[in-house]
Amino acid sequence: MMSLNNNSIRVGSHAPDFTATAVYEQEFKEIKLSSYLGKYVILLFYPLDFTFVCPTEITAFSDVYNEIQALNAEILAISVDSEYCHLAWMQMDREIGGVGELRYPLVSDLNKYISSSYNILTDEGKALRGLFIIDPNGVIQHCLINNLDVGRSVDETIRVLQAIQYVQKNPDEVCPANWHPGQATIISNPIKSKDYFSSL
């Protein structure tokens, strides 16, 4: 079960800032969310290291890191484990449930401050599978929260990121369902929007 706090964050609000220890390239580093202003950030919360669904997500996002970075975006993965636990997990091969060398940092939220700030901490003290896309101004543009047993889609995350970037560059247009780059958009005008609907 999960208890929502009274300060629920939402799409359109500023992402709560945080400073925490992360593991990146086998070293401990201090990570501050606000230092990423000017880039899109994918915050990838997950329950625990050394579990079952988690390594499939963590490695899947690492495998497409170059594609995400080409979209002016970075990834920060966060769980309530310590940095030492993160390091041990990264030193395990994928073939035995580890994550190996990753292209982005694993952030430690041992005191559960970040998970609480983003309102995804369960009563048992784990983070739900929360995914937040934050724009270069630090504003949350997308939020997806899965329960513990269901993994997320890397492809859909990239698609949503591309759609967010498109409408921010083209404020008179909106992206319809299942939109991908290169496909038709809708002019957000009662008359001009009919051009899209008449083409269906």
Domain edges within the chain: 19-169, 171-200
Q: Per-residue pLDDT averaged across 16-40, rounded?
A: 97
Specify the amino acid at residue 67: E
Q: 116 Cβ partners below 8 Å, 6+ apart? A: 5
Residue 5, pLDDT > 90, answer no
* Average pLDDT score over residue span 114-118: 97
Question: Residue type for 142, please?
Answer: H
Class of domain 19-169 (CATH, top level):
alpha beta
**What pTM value is reported for the model?**
0.94
pLDDT of residue 1: 36
Phi, psi of 177 (to 5 degrees): -55, 140
> Which pLDDT tens digit goes with each residue over 53-109?
999 999 999 999 999 999 999 999 999 999 999 999 999 999 999 999 999 999 999
Average pLDDT on 38-64 reads 98
Q: Is 175 a catalytic residue?
A: no
CA distance 160 to 109: 26
Q: In 3D, which of 103, 88, 108 has the Cα closest to residue 20?
A: 108
Mean confidence (pLDDT) of the chain: 95
Q: For position 200, what pLDDT does the model report?
A: 85
pLDDT reading at 151 higher than 90? yes
CA angle, 148 then 152 then 157, to 5°: 145
In single-letter form, the type of residue at position 196 comes to Y
Q: In this structure, are residues 67 and 35 in contact, taking their beta carbons and an 8 Å threshold?
A: no
The answer to which of 32-36, 86-90, 92-96, 193-197 has the lowest mean pLDDT is 193-197
Largest CA distance in the chain: 58
**For residue 42, what pLDDT is reported?**
98
